[in-house]
């Protein structure tokens, strides 16, 4: 099957080697650890043999643990790092990490007004570097952050952008049509992709997640399978639900997907970007 999970976090309690970044503390870690071997024990029975690691916020800009896991399992893991976009040259850090196998960079709103969350020279440098070197900018956002992202995509049309978790539509359990429309409107930017992921956190939050089918159908109609990639968002997916619950929604329960669509969403989109030959 050779499926690819496009969004997973790992972390360790080896604090001497991998210290937490303030203000995070040990009490924030839930579960306390999530090692790559635990992850693979969940993934492999569902036919997943390659995975994209996302830098865990506990470590902020120190991507060492993620990079060490990538090195320990060559060919199994790709990576999305976090860099300090308020630093003078985040673009240089991006290129240093790209040399180590990183293919994307997570960004998210902080304390700016949401309409201005992408303002600043650091983000401009990041988007320009993404365009020049085919490195993805990966926003973790709610729908209210999409308008500013659309403006930035107009400014940098060649930058690959991968939106996490269906823009978290339905995180408060209500899946609103205007939010769906906002996300689908991003399809006009030809280098924008979407992770169809984190089902445990959206809508009714109950397997088999059938309430998410209309949302996914709208996004599929807008972007096409070639710009969608499935992801579990482990370990959070397996705290109260199972890994199989997540992948089964795409593999078994969406009758509007052809076999070729399923192969695209479950493997090929992520493979083409994160595991290039």
End-to-end Cα spacing for the chain:
18
- At 173, is the pLDDT very low, low, confident or very high (cuts 50, 70, 90)? confident
Report the range of poorest mean pLDDT among 26-30, 185-189, 203-207, 268-272: 26-30
Give the CATH number for residue 91: 3.20.20.140
Over the stretch 42-76, which tens digit does the pLDDT of each residue have? 999 999 999 999 999 999 999 999 999 999 999 99
Mean pLDDT of the chain: 97
DSSP 194: E
Name residue 105's beta-bridge partners. 81, 137
Tally of domains in the chain: 1
- Residue 37 contacts by C-beta under 8 Å, 6 or more apart in sequence? none
Q: What's residue 277's pLDDT?
A: 82
Q: What's residue 1's pLDDT?
A: 67
Q: What is the CA radius of gyration of the chain?
A: 18
Q: Give the angle subtended at the CA of 271 by the CAs of 267 and 274, to the nearest 5°.
A: 135
DSSP 156: S
pTM of the model: 0.97
Over the stretch 130-169, which tens digit does the pLDDT of each residue have? 999 999 999 999 999 999 999 999 999 999 999 999 999 9
Q: What's residue 134's pLDDT?
A: 98
Over the stretch 84-127, which tens digit does the pLDDT of each residue have? 999 999 999 999 999 999 999 999 999 999 999 999 999 999 99
> Which residue range(s) make up the domain with 126?
3-274
């Amino acid at each position: 099957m050779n499926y690819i999970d496009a969004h997973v976090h790992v972390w360790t309690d080896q604090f001497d080697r991998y210290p937490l970044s303030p203000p995070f503390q040990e009490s924030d870690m839930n579960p306390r650890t999530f090692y790559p071997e635990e992850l693979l024990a969940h993934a492999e029975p569902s036919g997943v043999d390659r995975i994209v690691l996302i830098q865990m916020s506990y470590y902020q800009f120190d991507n060492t643990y993620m990079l060490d896991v990538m090195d320990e399992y060559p060919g199994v893991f790709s990576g999305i790092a976090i860099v300090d976009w308020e630093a003078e040259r985040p673009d240089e850090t991006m290129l240093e990490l790209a040399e180590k196998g990183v293919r994307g960079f997570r960004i998210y709103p902080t304390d700016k007004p949401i309409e201005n969350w992408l303002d600043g020279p650091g983000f401009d440098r990041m988007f320009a570097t993404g365009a020049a070197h085919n490195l993805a900018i990966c926003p973790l956002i709610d729908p209210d952050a999409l308008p500013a992202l659309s403006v930035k995509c107009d400014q940098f049309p060649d930058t690959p952008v991968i939106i996490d978790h269906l823009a978290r539509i339905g995180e408060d359990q209500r899946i609103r049509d205007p939010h769906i429309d906002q996300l689908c409107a991003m399809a006009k930017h030809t280098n924008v992709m979407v992770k169809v992921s984190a089902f445990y956190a959206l809508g009714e939050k109950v397997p088999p997640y059938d309430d998410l089918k209309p949302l996914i159908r709208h996004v599929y109609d807008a972007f096409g399978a070639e710009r969608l990639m499935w992801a579990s968002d482990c370990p959070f997916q397996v705290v109260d639900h199972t890994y199989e619950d997540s992948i089964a929604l795409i593999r078994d329960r969406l009758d509007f997907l052809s076999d070729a669509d399923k192969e695209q969403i479950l493997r090929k989109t992520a493979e083409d970007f994160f595991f290039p030959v």
